[in-house]
């Protein structure tokens, strides 16, 4: 029998190297997209319609990536994390989003924000981070259950 000349044997070391290269290239790509979006928004002052597509693709990609890591990894079970730490993490997530939003509009875009606008941004951030936290928490829980079933 003749061996297939296109057959490629991969051992564990080769897979680890492949994972490292893919991870590094993924991170470089995401940061490059962030840079392109920031440059278009803050330097070129392009309207958001001209870079929204890139921002949406990047955002969905990062959210799916994090969700996939939580599900496939299965190492984080939200039931085993203290409620106080979960709430503190969520509050920190919301505050970071609010501070970044205020910084973006006031410093980077040079706009004045009223208290009503800040409150509206806060409520929007609260809703979006709440949905993200619930979805990622469910994925982490399901991943944890999946790993536990595999161990049994």
pLDDT tens, position by position, 85-96: 989 989 999 999
97 closest CA partner among 124, 117, 116: 124
pLDDT digits over 117-130, tens only? 999 999 999 999 99
pLDDT digits over 48-70, tens only? 899 899 999 999 999 999 999 98
| Whole-number pLDDT of residue 2 | 56
| Whole-number pLDDT of residue 6 | 64
Whether residue 117 sits in one domain with residue 105: yes
Given 33, 53, 73, which residue is the final one in a domain?
Answer: 73
Given 50, 73, 96, which residue is the final one in a domain?
Answer: 73
Q: With 0-12 CB in 10 A as exposed, 13-18 as middle and 19+ as buried, what is 133?
A: middle
In a domain, 135, yes or no: yes
CB 90 within 8 A of CB 129: yes
What is this structure's pTM? 0.74
Q: What are the φ/ψ torsions at residue 57 (nearest 5 degrees)? A: -60, -45
What's the mean pLDDT when you consider all of the chain?
A: 89
State which residues form the domain around 137: 76-152
In a domain, 1, yes or no: no
């Amino acid at each position: 029998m003749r061996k297939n000349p296109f057959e490629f044997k991969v051992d564990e070391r080769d897979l680890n190297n492949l994972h490292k290269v893919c991870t590094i290239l993924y991170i470089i790509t995401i940061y490059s997209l962030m840079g392109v979006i920031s440059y278009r928004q803050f330097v070129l002052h392009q309207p958001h319609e001209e870079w929204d597509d890139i921002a949406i693709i990047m955002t969905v990609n990062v959210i799916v990536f994090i969700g996939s890591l939580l599900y496939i990894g299965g190492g984080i079970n939200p039931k085993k994390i203290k409620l106080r730490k979960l709430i503190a993490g969520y509050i920190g997530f919301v505050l970071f989003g609010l501070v970044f939003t205020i910084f973006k509009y006031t410093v980077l875009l040079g706009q004045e924000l009223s208290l009503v606008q800040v409150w509206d941004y806060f409520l929007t951030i609260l809703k979006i981070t709440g949905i993200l936290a619930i979805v990622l928490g469910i994925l982490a829980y399901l991943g944890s259950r999946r790993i536990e079933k595999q161990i049994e």
